[in-house]
Amino acid sequence: MSLTLYTNPMSRGKIAEWMLAEVGVPYEKVELEYGAAMKTPEFLALNPMGKVPTLVHDGKVVTEAAAICLYLADVFPEAHLKPLESERADYYRWTVFATATLEQGLAFHGAGIVLDERQKAQMGCGDSERAVQALVGHLSRNAYVAGERFTAADVYVGSQLNFFVRLFKMVPTCAAFDDYLNRVTSRAAFPM
């Protein structure tokens, strides 16, 4: 088996590193500097966006941190990070929500871009405040993203919340986020 992670220590590659630690498989880590190293023809052949993380598993390329988490849970089922049948809806819903709605809405907010109501309706991410409150509601009723058990969805959503709530302080903390983050960041594999 060949498994290589292209990353940078100040990137979403930390999410992929956490997931790789959770599945417990050996891999090669290639750290790339931002700029020219991510724009070489060799790297652009793997990831035309010139971004990290980029995972290469037996010649197959997976990009985007959320996709890497879901992929590794699927290809290493012995790690027990895939959803059970009863967990699938929340597993997929909230993982994609965290990347498409939460992160994108907060990126606009962080860049100082204020969307008017028409723009919020047109953008896939909608209203970042409503997105935060939706996740607060879900995590106030559930110990983990998919229910009562840690899954790959928690690697991704937990990483995003750790970034936005604790590291960058873009989102105010609350009991639901504090309790959830305490659970997921206390795991032995948590790298951040």
Assess if residue 190 is contained within a domain.
no
One-letter amino acid for residue 77 of the chain: P
Q: What is the pLDDT of residues 29-85, one digit of tens each?
A: 999 999 999 999 999 999 999 999 999 999 999 999 999 999 999 999 999 999 999
The Cα–Cα gap between 178 and 161 comes to 10
Q: How confident is the model at residue 108 (pLDDT cuts 50, 70, 90)?
A: confident
Q: 113 and 55, same structural domain?
A: no
Domain-ending residue, one of 79, 101, 116: 79
Q: 113 and 165, same structural domain?
A: yes
The pTM of this model reads 0.95
Assess if residue 192 is contained within a domain.
no
Look at the chain and report how many structural domains it folds into: 2
Over 80: is that where the pLDDT of 192 sits? Answer: no
Q: Which letter, b or e, does each residue of 54-65 get, where b requires 16 or more Cβ atoms within 10 Å of its Cβ?
A: bbbbeeeebbbb
The Cα–Cα gap between 157 and 53 comes to 16
| CATH number where 115 lies | 1.20.1050.10
| CATH number where 55 lies | 3.40.30.10
Which residue range is the domain that position 124 belongs to? 85-185
Q: What is the pLDDT of residues 36-46, one digit of tens each?
A: 999 999 999 99
The Cα–Cα gap between 46 and 60 comes to 9
Q: What is the DSSP letter of 124?
A: T
Q: How confident is the model at residue 140 (pLDDT cuts 50, 70, 90)?
A: very high
Among the residue ranges 31-45, 116-130, 134-148, 166-180, the one predicted with the least confidence is 116-130
Calculate what percentage of the chain has a pLDDT beyond 70: 99
Assess if residue 151 is contained within a domain.
yes
Q: 95 and 71, same structural domain?
A: no
Q: 75 and 117, same structural domain?
A: no
Q: What is the pLDDT of residues 89-104, one digit of tens each?
A: 999 999 999 999 999 9
Question: For residues 45 and 63, is the Cβ–Cβ distance under 8 A?
Answer: no
Residue by residue, what is the 3-state secondary structure of 5-67? EEECCCCCHHHHHHHHHHHCCCCEEEECCCCHHHHCHHHHHHCCCCCCCEEEECCEEEECHHH
Q: 71 and 8, same structural domain?
A: yes
Assess if residue 191 is contained within a domain.
no
Q: 136 and 93, same structural domain?
A: yes
